[in-house]
Structures are given as structure tokens and as C-alpha cells.
Structure 1
Amino acid sequence: MLYRLCLLALSVISVTAQPLYFPPASNDAWERLSRTDMGWCQDKVDSLVEFGRQTDTKALIILKDGRIAFEKYYGTFTKDSTWYWASAGKTVTAALVGIAQQDRQMDITKSSATYLGRGWSSCTPQQEDAITVRHHLTMTTGIGFDRGNDNCKTPECLRYRAAPGTIWDYHNACYLLLQDMIEKASGRTFQQYYNQQLSQKLGMGGLWFNGILFSRPLAMARFGLMLLAGGIWNGDTIIKDREYFNAMINTSQQLNKSYGYLFWLNGKGSFMQPGIPLVYQTDLVPAAPKDMYAGMGKNDQR
């Protein structure tokens, strides 16, 4: 069954017409817009609610200029319920790598062995040297792995397959190693780094367990709002490295044009799917705005 969480909360779909509103980071207060304010057709709203019901949605939230324009929870799920982001949480890790780089704790152009140490894989030292942090962000490390266990980070599981940058292969272990790099570079646990750099500043909350973020639904909306504002939260620039931010939400390589730095991109004319070595000659989501970018995860977490 599919369980959708906060559909569109991480999908930045348009340029806002009004100044953005930011909810306080210190409490749960959040301004809302009425359906009358929005001028929405009730039959369309009813169709949206039913769509969520048919697709086993947990929470469905839409923001307009930062304010909550639509908020619906299904079944026993509430605004205070906790759910997992799955791979949609990769976008949070991408943001944290950018923050680590702006603070000069990391450099994505350097070999990942700079932070992981020698022997993190079964590759030769020369092969490891060629794999950069950026290759981990773009799923182009060239590391081969057991399809039945793509979370295994031991050297025995990480084997040389191709030169980095020559193949696009969605590999969860190589992603998880980014969290290890942040820990080594910052001297803090990944949870501590997340708390300090994002959670406390945005009021997100949330707990990382086995590399996956668990949070209340509105945490995802807060993160999406920060992205919509260009990496800024209520005047505080969270992601100061503008080159990194722009690269994060744009095509990162030509193998899968619909992939940035752990973000999925629309409007690129072609895309690849995890685990399938085929290029589909169409936009990622043809019915969505061309400039949409999103976090997407297992069981349709978005």
C-alpha cells in the first residue's frame, strides 16, 4: 500500500506573488488561509480529498505564500503523529552537506576518503581517490552493490563497478555515507548536526533512525518553505552557499537529467528510475509544473 506524507510540501511549484510568511520556530502557531480567501472550487477540493483517501495518504498539506491553505489528515493520523520521510529525507542531508561546505567543514570536490578515511570501500586507493563527495550527492560513484542489501556500508559491500561519473545508479549506502562524512567533518553526531543547523532554526523537530528522518507532517512543510524562500528562513540565510543551493536543485549530470543533489527535478525531458538502467524520454511528472523540484521516497513520501 502507498502512504503519502505531505504531498507537494517539498515540491516548489511556483513563484509566489506575496511576501512569504514564516511560522515561529519556537511554537506550533501557523497562520492559515480560508478556502474563501483562496477562491477554490469546492468540487475540486472534494476531489483532492478523495484522491488522498484512495492513495492511502497520511497527511496532505498545501502552503500559499507560507500560510497553510489546505491541511488534511486521514484516519487516525493527526498533525502530531510521527511518520518517516523515507528517501524524501535525502534532501535534508543534501542541505546539511551544503551547510557543512559553507562552514568550510567539507568540500564536495574532495575525495570522499578525505572524510571517510582509506579503505571505506573494496576499491583500490587510486579508485577511491577518484570518488568525490559530489559523486555521492549525484548517485554517480560507480560503486557496485548487492541489490538485495543496498544499505550495507561495509567495504565488502562496496565494490568497483565503473569509473565515477560514468553511470547513474541509485545506491542508498553511498548516500548514507554522506551522513558519516558530516559526522567526521563536524565532530558531532548527525542528529546533533541536524538539530543545530536546521531543526532548531526552522522549528522542525524530528529524529533520525538508521539514516531515516521521522517527524510530524508540518516539519516537512517547514523544510519546503525554507527551500521555496531560496534557503532562507525569516531573514536568516540557512544555506549561504548560493552556488551549492542552485546546483542542488538543478541537473547535476547528463546521465539522469532529472536528478540534482539528491533532489528530483521536473521539466528536464528525460529521467531514470532507481534500479532500472533505462532513460525515459519524458518529464518526471508531465502534469506538474516544469520548474518543480521535490523530495521523493519509498511508498510515495513527498
Structure 2
Amino acid sequence: MKKLYILLLFPLLLSNCSADSNENPVEEQMYFPPTDGSTTWETKSILSLGWNQNAVQPLLEYLELKHSKSFMIIVNGRIVMENYFNGHTATTNWYWASAGKTLTATLSGIAEQEGFIDINNKVSDYIGTGWTNAPLDKENLITCKNLLSMNSGLNDALGDDVSPTNLQYTADAGTRWAYHNVYVKMQDVVAQSSGQTWNNYFNTKLRDKIGMNGFWFNSGTSGDLSVYWSTTRSMARFGLLNLNKGKWNGTQILNENYFAQATTTSQNINLAYGYLWWLNGKTSYHLPQTQIQFSGSIIPNGANDMFMALGKNDQKIYVIPSKKMVVIRMGDAADDENFTLSNFDNELWGKINALIL
């Protein structure tokens, strides 16, 4: 009788073990594509994620309608969606616009961890005085951190030209947030302090380490405004690096402490801004070209923990740690020309939510 009881109990134990296994599946390991120039990149199906397959076509139609050139979703490092529109291909380069500001923020962090700079030091410590048209005592208030946080106090209404005569004093550094291309002076800081050209330092310390391609193109009135161009997959690689807090396949490219600072509110004026990264889910935010404070999250349809690299005419890197997801969009302006943010962000996330929820 005792033997019969054990035999009857054994299938039940197996069933319970199976149920526990389903409730607590082994966590999928993060994937990193090879950095040897190979086109290999693991994929993951929408079906395996349990997403809504019926939402795919409306999303693609919306993206094409809104003048997109490419779109990618990556989960745990694996490609879930990769689509190209209007003649754009996987090998076509496109400009990042201001989404590339985050590349400068990242290189600044690498330069700091290598001991070349301290972002709390004044900019003139590295590139000399007279780099602005501000009085010397006001210029010396401007730290590297001010450039990364967009609160240099310099006049943001004078266009892209970052030559000294065009960098005019408006307010003391740290007292006014304004979206300004003066951030590009951090590239000079890194170059001067490292003793290398910006391109060489960028390529060796970041681009080549994570298998990106692309190049910097100088534009703007003064010739100092560098814009990065690359393939969509290269943009996705950078997003994946930041999803993993600066680590690439076991190698810490960017110090995690600096990464945390970069993706956290950097000053008390625009809560939705870190070090050249935009931050979702804050109680208020400012927009470029205005001093108005708006209430609520920048992208209400987006996750509260999402941080973003956002560029002119809707170049986008969205990083969502809670979903282990990176979303990339490249293209022309979805609607009218815009500087960084537009209604497109929230509409797009409405379409993505229909897919992933």
C-alpha cells in the first residue's frame, strides 16, 4: 500500500516541478553581435515574445507614412524587427543629428575615467580662455558638466555657430537651461586633454570596441559642429551598449557610475535632461528654443524609465531598461521639421505599445 501511494504521488511531484519551472523560467542571456565586421546578429520572433502580431502591419504603415527610412526593435540584444523604407537599406548611412550628442557625452565619460578630464573643472582648463565672448569671470564659471547638462548660460538664440564671437553671455552658468550646440566644445576638451584627434579617440575608445561603423561630418557656420553618420545597426549597437550600462559583452567601455549620472537628472531646471540624454517619466520638462516649463512626462505613452537620444527630424534612440529593449528610428521629419522632439514620439509609442502589450 505504501509503495502504491508513492507511485501515485510521483506524477504529482513532476507536475508541480513543471509548473514551478514555467512560472520561473531561466532568464535569457543578453546577446551582443560580433564586432569583427560580420553581419551576423541573432533574431527573436514576435511570436516567441507573445506580442501582438496583428499590430505589426499598422506600425509599419505608420512608419512609412511618417517618412521613416529605418526602424529596429531589439530585445535582450536580439533583433525583433528590422525594417527599411523608401530605398534605404541596412548598408545606407544616415545622420544622427542631435541624437549624436550622446556619443559626445559617452566619450567625455571615457576621457574622465582615463584621467584626462574632470567634468567638474572649468572648460578653460582644457581649451584655454577666450573660447567664448563672455567676460572672463563669467566664462570661468562654465564647467564641462555645464556643457553636458545644457546650462552653460550662453545665448542659445544665435544659431549653430560656436566660434567665440557667437558664444555670448546671457546668465551665470548653472542658472539657466537652454538647448545649445556649445556642447560640441566637449569634443575639443577631449581632444586637447587626450592629445589625440577627436576622430581617433572616438574610433579607438568607442566605435571599434562595439563594432560600429560611421563617420563624423563637420558642418555649421564655424565648421565645428560635428554630426555623426552611420547605418541603423550601428546606432542600435550604441543603444545596446547603453541598455547594458556601458558594458559590452563583459567589457566595461564606460564607467557605470558616470553612466548613471548621464541618465539621471543633471540639474534642477529641466528634470528631463541628463548629460545630453533626454529622460522620460519626470514630473516636468523643458523643450529646445523655449524657457517654458511643461508638466508631466515628455512621452506619456513611453515607459517611465526610458531614456532617449533625440535628433532633428526625428532621429531616435529609445532605451527601455525595464523591457530590456532598444528602439531605433531614422528618417526625414515625420511631420514638420523639428529640432528634437515632436508629437511623433508619443504617437509612435502608442503604435509600439499596441505591439508589445
TM-score, scaled to structure 1: 0.91
Which among 245, 250, 267 is matched to residue 281 of structure 2? Answer: 267
Q: CA deviation at 1:39?
A: 2.9
Q: CA deviation at 1:34?
A: 2.4
Does residue 77 in structure 1 map to residue 88 in structure 2? yes
Q: CA deviation at 1:71?
A: 0.6
Does residue 281 in structure 1 map to residue 290 in structure 2? no
Contact 2:126 2:192 in 1 (8 A): yes
* Alignment match, 2:213: 205
* Alignment match, 2:246: 231
Distance 1:224 1:91 in 2: 10
Contact 1:195 1:205 in 2 (8 A): no
Distance 1:35 1:252 in 2: 36
Matched ranges for 1:282-297 at <5 A: 282-297=296-311
Q: CA deviation at 1:272?
A: 0.5
After superposition, give the CA deviation of every residue in 1:121-145 in whole Å (9 maximum; x if it has no partner).
1122221211100000001000114
Task: Tell me the amino acid that sits aligned with residue 121 of structure 2.
Answer: K
* Alignment match, 1:221: 236
Contact 2:156 2:178 in 1 (8 A): no
After superposition, give the CA deviation of every residue in 1:91-114 in whole Å (9 maximum; x if it has no partner).
111000000000001110000001
Which among 113, 117, 121 is matched to residue 128 of structure 2? Answer: 117
Distance 2:197 2:106 in 1: 16
Task: Tell me the amino acid that sits aligned with residue 68 of structure 2.
Answer: T
Q: Name the Cα RMSD after superposition.
A: 1.1
After superposition, give the CA deviation of every residue in 1:162-220 in whole Å (9 maximum; x if it has no partner).
11000001111x11111111111111121111100111100001100121000000011
* Alignment match, 2:330: none
Matched ranges for 1:131-280 at <5 A: 131-147=142-158, 149=159, 151-172=160-181, 174-210=182-218, 211-240=226-255, 242-280=256-294
Task: Tell me the amino acid that sits aligned with residue 272 of structure 2.
Answer: S
Q: What residue ranges of structure 1 are gaps of 5+ in the alignment?
A: 1-16
Q: CA deviation at 1:146?
A: 4.2
Contact 1:140 1:165 in 2 (8 A): yes
* Alignment match, 1:31: 42
After superposition, give the CA deviation of every residue in 1:46-104 in whole Å (9 maximum; x if it has no partner).
11111211111111100011000111100200100110000000011100000000000
Shift in alpha-carbon separation, 1:221–1:145, aligned structure 2, 3 A: closer
Distance 2:97 2:134 in 1: 29
Distance 1:145 1:166 in 2: 14
Contact 1:60 1:70 in 2 (8 A): yes
* Alignment match, 2:28: 18
Contact 1:38 1:69 in 2 (8 A): no
Contact 1:179 1:190 in 2 (8 A): yes
Contact 1:142 1:160 in 2 (8 A): yes
Distance 1:267 1:196 in 2: 34
Distance 1:93 1:123 in 2: 24
TM-score, scaled to structure 2: 0.77
Which among 25, 47, 60 is matched to residue 49 of structure 1? Answer: 60
Distance 2:85 2:203 in 1: 29
Give the length in aligned residue pairs: 282
Contact 1:249 1:293 in 2 (8 A): yes
Distance 2:295 2:31 in 1: 38
Contact 1:263 1:293 in 2 (8 A): yes
Distance 1:182 1:205 in 2: 21
Contact 1:145 1:157 in 2 (8 A): no
Distance 2:77 2:257 in 1: 24
After superposition, give the CA deviation of every residue in 1:214-253 in whole Å (9 maximum; x if it has no partner).
000001110011101111000000012x321111001001
Q: Which structure ranks higher in relative contact order (CA pairs < 8 Å, sequence separation ≥ 6)?
A: 1
Contact 2:120 2:144 in 1 (8 A): yes
Contact 1:119 1:125 in 2 (8 A): yes
Task: Tell me the amino acid that sits aligned with residue 234 of structure 1.
Answer: N
* Alignment match, 1:13: none
* Alignment match, 2:103: 92
Distance 2:156 2:309 in 1: 24
